[in-house]
Amino acid sequence: MEFLLGNPFSTPVGQCLEKATDGSLQSEDWTLNMEICDIVNETEEGPKDAIRALKKRLNGNRNYREVMLALTVLETCVKNCGHRFHVLVASRDFIDGVLVRIISPKNNPPTIVQDKVLALIQAWADAFRSSPDLTGVVHIYEELKRKGVEFPNADLDALSPIHTPQRSVPEVDPAATVPRSQAQQRTSAGSFSSPPPPPFSAPQAPALSVTGPITANAEQIARLRSELDIVRGNTKVMSEMLTEMVPGQEDSSDLELLQVRGLILGLWAQGCSR
C-alpha cells in the first residue's frame, strides 16, 4: 500500500533528502542534513516521511555515491533525532528489508558500502540493546553474526554517542503538531527562525600515543574523517548565519544555535589538544 502515499520525495523532508543525497554533490551538505533532522523532530509525519524517502534512495540503487550520502543522512538523523525516529530505524522491517538487502551478495556493493552498513548495524545494536522497543536491530545483528558475517573492527566505546544531549525544545507532541510551514521557515543561507535543532554530539578525539609514531587503521581514519565532516558542517552553518545576521536584529534562536555550535567546536578543539 506504500504506493498510495505518493512520491516519498514530494514531502518537505523528502525534498530535502533528495537534494542531500544527489549523486552530483561533491561532499555532504551538512546544512541540508541538519534541516532534515529539524523536520523529523518538529513535525508529526517527519519520521515516517524521512524513512520513506530513505527507503526510496537506498532500495535497489546502484549509484553508490547516492547510497553513501543517504547512509550519512541516516546516521546523522539517528544521532540527532528522537525516539519516534529510532523506533522506525531499529525495526526489523528497515534493518533487514533495507540495510541488509543493500549488502546482499547478489547486489555485490563496494567494500566501503558494506563496511558502512555493517558499522551502523553494529553501533545501533550496541546502543539500543537495553531498549525493549528498539531491539529489532539487535536481533538482526545477532543473526548476522551467527551466519558468519564479519563486522568491521570498531571500538564502540570510542564512537560518538547515539543519543544527543536533551533538547531545549522537546520533540513535537503528535497531539499538537507544529505546521510544516513553520518548521521550514529559514533562509537559503541557513538562518533559523524555528526552534534550534538538537546539537551534534561533540566528536570524541581518539586517544593517541605520545611515545612513538602515530598509526591508525582504516576504521580509525574513516571515523576521523566522519568527525571532521561534522566539524566542517558546524563551521559552515556558523559562517552562513553570521553572514546573514544584522547587528541589533538577531533572533534569540539564532544566537542560541550559534552558542551551541561554538561550544561543540570548542569541545572538539579541547579534545584534539589533549
Q: What is the CA radius of gyration of the chain?
A: 19
Residue 125 CB-density burial (10 A; 0-12 exposed, 13-18 middle, 19+ buried)? buried
Place of cell 525495526: 91
pLDDT of residue 29: 96
Please tell me whether residue 202 adopts helix, strand or coil conformation.
coil
What pTM did the predictor assign? Answer: 0.60
For the stretch 210-231, pLDDT in tens is 344 445 566 666 666 666 667 6
Better pLDDT: 263 or 56 = 56
What confidence category does residue 17 fall into, taking pLDDT thresholds of 50, 70 and 90? very high
Q: What percent of the chain has pLDDT over 90?
A: 53
Backbone angles phi, psi at 198, to 5 degrees: -65, 140
Residue 208 pLDDT greater than 70, yes or no = no
pLDDT of residue 43: 96
pLDDT of residue 192: 31
Q: What number is the average pLDDT over the span 25-50? A: 96
What confidence category does residue 152 fall into, taking pLDDT thresholds of 50, 70 and 90? confident
pLDDT of residue 94: 97
Q: What number is the average pLDDT over the span 189-197? A: 35
Name which of 62, 71, 67, 48 is nearest 2 in CA terms: 48
Q: Which amino acid is at 260?
A: V
Residue 6 pLDDT greater than 50, yes or no = yes
CB crowding 169-207: b at 16 or more within 10 Å, else e: eebbeeeeebebeebbeeeeebbbebbbbbbbbbbbbee
pLDDT of residue 255: 64
CA distance 168 to 98: 33
Highest mean pLDDT among 87-96, 199-208, 211-220, 242-251: 87-96
Q: Which amino acid is at 3?
A: F
Least confident of 106-120, 139-153, 171-185: 171-185
CA distance 170 to 41: 8
Q: In the chain, where are the structural domains located?
A: 12-147, 226-272
242: left (phi over 0), alpha (psi -120 to 50) or beta: alpha
Residue 157 CB-density burial (10 A; 0-12 exposed, 13-18 middle, 19+ buried)? exposed
Instruction: Map 50-61 to HEC letters.
Output: HHHHHHHHHCCC
DSSP state letter for 135: T
Q: What number is the average pLDDT over the span 16-20? A: 98
For the stretch 155-182, pLDDT in tens is 554 444 554 444 434 455 444 444 433 3
CA distance 4 to 27: 34
Average pLDDT, the chain: 76
Domain 12-147 -> CATH class: mainly alpha
